[in-house]
Structure formats: C-alpha cells, structure tokens
Amino acid sequence: MGKDSLLLNILKYSVSFVFAFAIIYVLFQHQNPVKLFEEIQKVEMGWVFLSMIFGVWAYVSRGLRWIVLIDALGYKSSKINSIASVSVGYFTNLFIPRAGEISRCTALNQAEKIPGDKLFGTILIERVIDFIFLFALIILAFFLKLDDLLKFFSTLQAHQTDSNAGNSKILILLSITTIGIAGFFLLKKWMKNSVFYQKILGFFDGLKEGFKSIKKMKRKSVFWIHTFSIWIMYFLMTYICFFSMSETSGLTVGDGLFLLVLGGIGMVIPTPGGIGSYHAIVMIGLAVLGVGFINLNPPEGEINPALVFPTVVHVAQTLVAIIMGSISLFILFLTKKKKYESS
C-alpha cells in the first residue's frame, strides 16, 4: 500500500468515525443515561433474542448463497468457511466501513485458495441483486405507506426551517452530513490518482468472470431461495422487536417494511456499523408512525422511545456481528493451521 493510499484511508475512516459519533452526540446529549438504561431494562429481551437468531440465519443464508456463485466459477468452498468468511466481513464493517467485502474475500482466499479477484466479482453480483431487492422494497413501501413516506419527508423539511433550539440541532446534523458527502467526493477524486485506484483496475478481468457466473449457475433456485431468505430475515430482525416495547407493539407489518427501508438506507451511509445514521433515520421514521418524537431537546427526564428502539435493535445486531465474527475468526484460524500442518 502506497503512502498516499494509507493517508487517504486513515483520513477517510477518521471522518467516518467522527461523523458517526457526532450524530450519536447530537441524538443522545439530552437523554438522561440513568433513565435511558431504566427504559432499556423494560424491554422484553426474549423478542430481542429471537431477532438475533434471525440475524444469525441471515449470515448463514448469505454464506450459502455465496457458495452458489463460487460454484459457477468452477471453485469449491465448504459451507463452514463460506459462512465464517461472511461473518468476518460483517465483523470488520463494525470498525472499518465498507472494508467487510475485502476482508471477507481475503478470509475465504486464505482458507480455500480461491483467487481474490474472482471472489470480488461475486461480491459485485451480490451488491447488484441486493440493490434490486432494496429498490423493490422501496417501491412496495411507497405504495403501502405512501402517506407515511410523504409525512417523513415533510417532517424533515419542517425541521429544516424551524428555528427553535431543539430543531437547530438537526440543522447541525444536516450540515455535518453535507460536509461529509462533499468530503467523500473530494477523497474520491484524490483516490483516482492513487495506487489503490490502479489496483482496482487490475481486478476487471476477474470481475467480468464474476458477472458471467450468474448465467452459469446450476442451482439458480437455491440462489434465489437464499436471497429471499436474507431479506425476510432482515425484515423479521426489525419487525419482531416491535413486540419488545409497549410503544411499538401496535405497529403493523407495513410499518415494519417502512422501517426496514429507512434502516437499510441508514446502514448504507458510510459510518462504522451504521452507528448514528441508523439511529437517526429510524428515530424520524418512528416519530412519523406516532412513536416518540423528533425534538432533540425534550423536557428534562423524558426518554424518547423512538431512540430506545433503534438503540436496542442496533446493539442486538452488533452483538450478533461480534459473536459470529469472533467465532468465525477462530474457525478460519483452525482451518488455516490444519492446512499448514498437512502441507
């Protein structure tokens, strides 16, 4: 890695962390930590645990789906190594945004000796498929929850023009977002002249083969079953947690779809593990649905359930990533050690 690329990555990830924790600070600075903890203790953790199980199954489905794409390239991967590599990818994303895909390919490359450029090609296929599914869900949510979507955007607009102290915090948040996006494009322009960009160009041959693999798939039905399974699990991870809090227990399946779409957008924003961005966008979505409020400077001692909910869901799924990632790193270490000893 060249010096320019290293400095660029350090700057990029530093901005990402600062951005994430700036959002968290703005959201939680007026929430009493003792009372917030008391509210979290009221959450029925059985439902949250079930949500975590759905999260684990999403990892498993993603790993099994990856095998189908790898098979189409003429390579073989064990189920355990594929699932473990996917888990390592999620684990990495908690600390380094967007690095999960690279670490996932690196992990499987070391475990199975499959060329990294071929693996990266399959990742791009997954990206395209998942984007199509997210877009389809956005369209579905548009028809099912049109009024709430319009209310969501009108709420954002109203808070942009409101001059009270609490809402001015949202203006600060939006300003930080604007600066972050501008910084991203400046970094992207700089990156084009870096060694990193030149290395990306070297992946193209492998990527072409990766895109061809979807046509060569022998088990297309398995691929689509796991694709649907992944997104159903994503939905259930949020929806099942509705029943863990009295304030959200009356929300509907359509409301769950609405928050899945918003949460998906929040996770796309390049912050470590969706920290801050997920909380902010789900909070606004819940307020639109009549749960909690958006005012960031509430009366003293009042806890916002619209912040408690995304905090519980996010912590639960972060624990899944940490547990699965830690176990997977150990499994991959044993696999590599076993192959080294047998060679």
Among 46-50, 157-161, 209-213, name the most confident range: 46-50
Would you state the structure tokens that stand for residue 125, as one six-digit string?
Answer: 């296929």
Distance (Å) of CA 299 to CA 168, 206, 235, 304? 16, 57, 33, 10
- In degrees rounded to 5, what are phi and psi of residue 108? -75, -35
Better pLDDT: 188 or 320: 320
Better pLDDT: 302 or 309: 309
- In degrees rounded to 5, what are phi and psi of residue 141? -65, -35
- Closest to 282 measured CA to CA, from 298, 269, 272: 269
Q: Give pLDDT tens digits for 250-265.
A: 999 999 998 998 888 8
Q: Give pLDDT tens digits for 57-114.
A: 999 999 999 999 898 888 888 999 999 999 999 999 888 877 888 999 999 998 888 8
CA dihedral defined by 110, 113, 116, 121, rounded to 10 degrees? -120
pLDDT for 272 equals 83
- What is the pTM for the complete model shown? 0.80
User: Are the C-beta atoms of 170 and 163 separated by less than 8 Å?
Assistant: no
d(CA 298, CA 296): 6
